[in-house]
Structure 1
Amino acid sequence: MKKMKAIGALSIGLAFLLAPGSAIRADAASDKLTVVVTDEPKSLDPCDTDLSGNSRILHNNITEALVDLSPADGSVVPSLATGWRQVDELTWEFKLRDDVTFHDGKAFDANAVVAALKRAQDPALACEVGLATLKGVKFNAEAVNPTTLLIKTDIVEPILPNKMSAVDIGSPATPNDGKSRSPAGTGPYKLAAWTPGQSVDLVAYDGYWGDKPAIKNATIIWRAESAVRAAMVATGEAQIAYEIAPQDGTTEQDHAFPNAETSLLRIDAEIPPLNDKRVREALNLSIDRDGLVGTIFHQDAQKAMQAVPPSVVGFNPDIPVWTYDPEKAKSLLTAAKADGVPVDKEIVIYGRIGIYPNSSESLEAIQAMLADAGFNARLEMLETSPWLKKLLKPWSKERQPSILQTQIDNTEGDAVFTLPNRFTTDGNQSTIADAKLDTLIADASKATGDERKKLFEEAFSYIAVDAVNIVPLFHMVTIARVAENVTYTPDVQAGNEIKLKSISYR
């Protein structure tokens, strides 16, 4: 099959790296570590950690938040805050660590958190955390004293501590008139250099308040091809490589793990012919998900029907997975065409190079499936920057009908971290405007306990059955390759966080 030939072509990069005369180094020195990822970060601003490419370098390496979430069960655990309590319905109190300093020498205290939270919500800065995690709520922080902080909200925010895990605190000297490329945080590593197009270099921070990292110097580099990333560990050019494709991850150094990501295609439901529900249903019926598992996607990937995995509060277990039925897809398109829907209009499939292993090959296969069902689909693979312009608003009103390859992570364990920004009318990534869905998500976000779970389940059911504005694919499994002399166990958060402090040499 053509798609399998494309997968095999990935081995070319491996053969090149292992060819005689290739410049390699046997092993890193014990005080140096090189990690290879898929692509360069968009930003290293502390307020942009809602994008995975930024977060994996920043979060808990350069910058830290008031709290963390346990990878074991998603529970809230201390970080820069040692304790917290709910004072009243709209107010939370946090107790902060003392004797913590930022990399630039500024003191970490309650005033620094006030400044960081205000900056994260500044619409002029368009911080990713403000547009996503903090969306829909006003968070007003007040310093009671250097180690006591009050955070007040304008509406009930029952999981406020969870949301604070996404707000990384930068130095109070961080500029407020634009994004920073030189972040100063409180983390175990400080930024040594960001060489655009090449690497990010970090060095251990001697004044770190917590346990010191075992490795002093860390370099993050990026390569688009899975085979190349895998080969860099095999040759000693890197010690850890993420997002290894199934066909490349066949050694004892390759560790597969669920990564809390859900892959899907986002349908632009506002542009004809995709504004017709029958066309959107036909897209879903056209895709042979069973045929993609174990070939292009990892054999342990689970077919998805919603944008979060089962571990997330609000996951609805009663939504049936789409079946593969190209004949029904054709009949839906025929019926829509008879009603004047322009089903023959070209639909662009926008993909992102390296978003996950075999990302291009997956869309080549899906494009062929859509063509078999009668769609006129064209594939366009994009680098990260132009892809982000398709992901995030504003968009042109004259745009082509399109579907966008993306994946959504949720390591926080609650549907509120997934739904508002992606499925409400004013969401920064949302291609749907539906007042009923807006109300469902808003009501669920304010609720607690069983009521919260029930309302989020209703929202996911509405998205899947009524709105049908996504083509859900898989709850993902990923592979990391780790050098034999390195101690590191990737966990469910590894897609968003390279836990450099936890890595050591044997």
Structure 2
Amino acid sequence: MPPSRFRRPLAALALSASALMLTGCFAAPANGPGGGTDRVSVAMLLPPRSGLSPFSDDAFKLSRWRTAETLVQLDEAGDARPMLATEWSRVDPRTWRFTLRDGVTFHDGTELTATHAADVLNRATVASPPPRILDGVELTARADGDNAVLVSTATADPLVPQRLSSPQLSLLAPAAYGPDGRVDPAGHGSGPFRLTAVQGTSGATLDRYDGYWGEPARVAGIDVTYVPDGTARAAALRTGTADVVEAIPPGQVPLLDPELVHEVPMPRTNTLYLNTDRGPFADPAVRAAAREAIDRAALVAGAYEGRADSASGLLGPALPWAADLRSDPAYARALAARPAPARVQGVPITLGTFTDRSELPETAVLLEQQLEAAGFVVTQDVREYAFIEADALDGAFDAFLLSRATVLDSGDPVAYMTSDFGCAGGFNISQLCAPGVQQALERAAGTDTGPARRAATMQAEAAVLATDAAIPLLHERVIQGESARVDGVARDPRERDLITSGTTVGATP
């Protein structure tokens, strides 16, 4: 009997057990009469990695809770729209002027000023590590009068407004920034929800901020619990112990009421990064052998139960223009220049990944089988992300399996490519520094937004793929759970928005 016939009954047992364990983990959903007195409970995938520092990936939690805000936000198309800045203009090729919104106060009562906004942006440039959105960008900011900020870059940058939309460039009150470089977001944001309590890696509590400059929140607050285990998150939705659940594993979806599950393509690619600096994959022909060993359809069917899209490149269906541009003859020529695969009988490699996304360990098992069928001898190292990220960035693995958001920061994929594949990239797991790739990235980065930039972006993708430093496997989908008693939750492919001012909670039907 195939193993798949056992999977769902076992999952159902695990789901019941997880539900029992979770009963005491979540705040009990409020079933009040409405009118802004209810609270929304959220089960999130990953706990904070950097104490909720806005300069780290934790900033996306602050954004999804609508407690910290940026000068600019992105609309569904990825275009820049006002937030804490109401308008902006280009003063010269290297300088932009942003006019601040009047009447903005932080949660501690202090007012937003141009001097402070400039100070925060300058702090971000010297943070360690710096926000990914600033990889390869020399940015400085200064106040221009009382209500405007001038942002300058060392070279002309058409994406400055989009860069300032990154949650890692959120503005917090002056008191949030300590002399030792630490940043405390609790009680120091500007959004409709005030972060009132941080329970380390177990959860957080937020209350409505009545002094918010925009539309006031319709719920009284947010109760967050971090639940890395995917079965437990699904159980939280099924049992009603959470109103909103992040990242439901595909294997759990058949066990849930389909009316509670919402799925959209997202700009996130499951990619196998190969170490180009040392070890077996320093040889391009050995990297080619790994590429040829991969059966993407088997990964999608096995680990994701068909709820993902096979990858033809780094960018997936969430960016529909990417597929059409792969028909460019120059794109095909770049890929045709790849070397022939080497014979790899008995070549040992280490494969790393993390447990926080439940599909990755299963994908790694399938990858191990495919690579070993091609002649590699695979040793896996699987840990929680917080305990493996530093080793991955240091190049400790021959191969690393990562679920990577491709437009997370600016709404533009060039920033992600520069971070992951540029010579000075802050997230360069492949340890890649190839002149052709660097030139393509710089050309794309310097091109104005629009069709020309998209074409240059795809040429950069082709240059990366030609090195086999990264093997794109599949494109994930957002699988988000929402209880029947919650409404107005954001379904954001870029994972910036979740609970909004318009989110409401009512009694269970």
Q: TM-score per shorter chain, which class?
A: 0.7 to 0.9
TM, length-normalised to structure 1: 0.87
Q: Which residue of 2 aligns with 1:408?
A: 405
* Superposed counterparts of 1:334-349, under 5 Å: 334=343, 344-349=346-351
**CA spacing shift, 1:95–1:59, aligned 2, 3 Å:** farther
**CA spacing shift, 1:442–1:176, aligned 2, 3 Å:** farther
C-alpha displacement of 1:120? 0.3
| CA-atom RMSD in angstroms | 2.7
* Superposed counterparts of 1:245-284, under 5 Å: 245-250=249-254, 251=257, 252-284=259-291
Matching residue's letter, 2:480: A
Matching residue's letter, 1:83: E
| Maintained 8 Å contact 2:267/2:406 | yes
C-alpha displacement of 1:233? 1.9
| Maintained 8 Å contact 1:47/1:127 | no
**CA spacing shift, 1:409–1:203, aligned 2, 3 Å:** farther
Q: Which residue of 2 aligns with 1:153?
A: 153
Q: Give, in whole Å, the separation in 1 of the partners of 2:105 and 2:265.
A: 35
Q: Give, in whole Å, the separation in 1 of the partners of 2:214 and 2:203.
A: 26
C-alpha displacement of 1:419? 1.1
C-alpha displacement of 1:83? 0.8
Q: In structure 2, the residue corresponding to 1:33 is in which secondary structure? A: strand
C-alpha displacement of 1:218? 0.9
Q: Give, in whole Å, the separation in 2 of the partners of 1:102 and 1:170.
A: 7
| Maintained 8 Å contact 1:63/1:169 | yes
Q: In structure 2, the residue corresponding to 1:118 is in which secondary structure? A: helix
| Maintained 8 Å contact 2:15/2:235 | yes
Q: Give, in whole Å, the separation in 1 of the partners of 2:62 and 2:350.
A: 32
| 2:367 is the alignment partner of 1:366 | yes
| 2:422 is the alignment partner of 1:424 | yes
| Maintained 8 Å contact 1:241/1:480 | yes
Which string of whole-angstrom CA distances, capped at 9 and with x for unpartnered residues, describes residues 252-303 of structure 1? 2111112221111111111221011122122122222112224422534221
**CA spacing shift, 1:374–1:391, aligned 2, 3 Å:** same
User: Which deviates more from structure 2 when the two are superposed, residues 37-46 or residues 422-431?
Assistant: 37-46
C-alpha displacement of 1:152? 1.6
Q: Give, in whole Å, the separation in 2 of the partners of 1:8 and 1:347.
A: 35
Q: Give, in whole Å, the separation in 2 of the partners of 1:438 and 1:453.
A: 17
Q: Give, in whole Å, the separation in 2 of the partners of 1:103 and 1:20.
A: 35
Of the three residues 254, 274, 290, the one matched with 2:297 is 290
**CA spacing shift, 1:318–1:150, aligned 2, 3 Å:** closer
Q: Give, in whole Å, the separation in 2 of the partners of 1:85 and 1:301.
A: 40
**CA spacing shift, 1:367–1:20, aligned 2, 3 Å:** closer
| Maintained 8 Å contact 2:267/2:494 | no
Aligned residues: 476
| 2:211 is the alignment partner of 1:171 | no
Which string of whole-angstrom CA distances, capped at 9 and with x for unpartnered residues, describes residues 14-61 of structure 1? 121456996688743442221001120113555325x2x541334561
| 2:447 is the alignment partner of 1:457 | no
* Superposed counterparts of 1:120-159, under 5 Å: 120-122=124-126, 125-129=127-131, 132-159=132-159
Q: Which residue of 1 aligns with 2:384?
A: 383
Gaps of 5+ in 2: 33-37, 328-339
Matching residue's letter, 2:454: K
C-alpha displacement of 1:210? 0.9
**CA spacing shift, 1:281–1:317, aligned 2, 3 Å:** farther
**CA spacing shift, 1:127–1:108, aligned 2, 3 Å:** farther
Q: Which residue of 1 aligns with 2:116?
A: 112
Q: Give, in whole Å, the separation in 2 of the partners of 1:128 and 1:11.
A: 43
TM, length-normalised to structure 2: 0.86
Q: Give, in whole Å, the separation in 1 of the partners of 2:272 and 2:184.
A: 31
Gaps of 5+ in 1: 321-330, 338-342
**CA spacing shift, 1:346–1:15, aligned 2, 3 Å:** same
* Superposed counterparts of 1:219-258, under 5 Å: 219-250=223-254, 251=257, 252-258=259-265
Q: Which residue of 2 aligns with 1:93?
A: 97
Q: Which residue of 1 aligns with 2:107?
A: 103
Q: Give, in whole Å, the separation in 2 of the partners of 1:276 and 1:314.
A: 33
Q: Give, in whole Å, the separation in 1 of the partners of 2:129 and 2:366.
A: 35
| Maintained 8 Å contact 2:244/2:482 | yes
Q: Which residue of 2 aligns with 1:487?
A: 487
Query: What is the percent sequence identity of the aligned residues?
Result: 23
Q: Which residue of 1 aligns with 2:61?
A: 56
Q: Give, in whole Å, the separation in 2 of the partners of 1:200 and 1:109.
A: 28
**CA spacing shift, 1:497–1:3, aligned 2, 3 Å:** farther
| Maintained 8 Å contact 1:98/1:109 | no
Q: Give, in whole Å, the separation in 1 of the partners of 2:478 and 2:148.
A: 40
Q: Give, in whole Å, the separation in 1 of the partners of 2:376 and 2:307.
A: 30
C-alpha displacement of 1:244? 0.8
**CA spacing shift, 1:199–1:445, aligned 2, 3 Å:** same
* Superposed counterparts of 1:5-84, under 5 Å: 9-18=10-19, 27-30=29-32, 31-45=38-52, 47-49=54-56, 51=57, 53-58=58-63, 61-71=66-76, 73-84=77-88
Matching residue's letter, 1:390: D
| Maintained 8 Å contact 1:56/1:495 | no
**CA spacing shift, 1:314–1:389, aligned 2, 3 Å:** farther
Q: Which residue of 2 aligns with 1:332?
A: 341
| Maintained 8 Å contact 2:63/2:496 | no
Q: Give, in whole Å, the separation in 2 of the partners of 1:56 and 1:231.
A: 22
**CA spacing shift, 1:81–1:345, aligned 2, 3 Å:** same
Q: In structure 2, the residue corresponding to 1:410 is in which secondary structure? A: coil
Q: Give, in whole Å, the separation in 2 of the partners of 1:269 and 1:458.
A: 20
Q: In structure 2, the residue corresponding to 1:48 is in which secondary structure? A: coil
C-alpha displacement of 1:11? 3.6
| Maintained 8 Å contact 1:39/1:222 | yes
Q: Give, in whole Å, the separation in 2 of the partners of 1:385 and 1:146.
A: 41
Q: Which residue of 1 aligns with 2:356?
A: 354
C-alpha displacement of 1:405? 2.6
C-alpha displacement of 1:349? 1.4
Matching residue's letter, 1:259: M
Q: In structure 1, the residue corresponding to 2:316 is in which secondary structure? A: coil
Q: Which residue of 1 aligns with 2:331?
A: none
Which string of whole-angstrom CA distances, capped at 9 and with x for unpartnered residues, describes residues 162-214 of structure 1? 11101211222212522224441111112111112311111111211111111
Of the three residues 205, 224, 228, the one matched with 1:201 is 205
Which string of whole-angstrom CA distances, capped at 9 and with x for unpartnered residues, describes residues 460-496 of structure 1? 11111x2111120112112111111110344234634
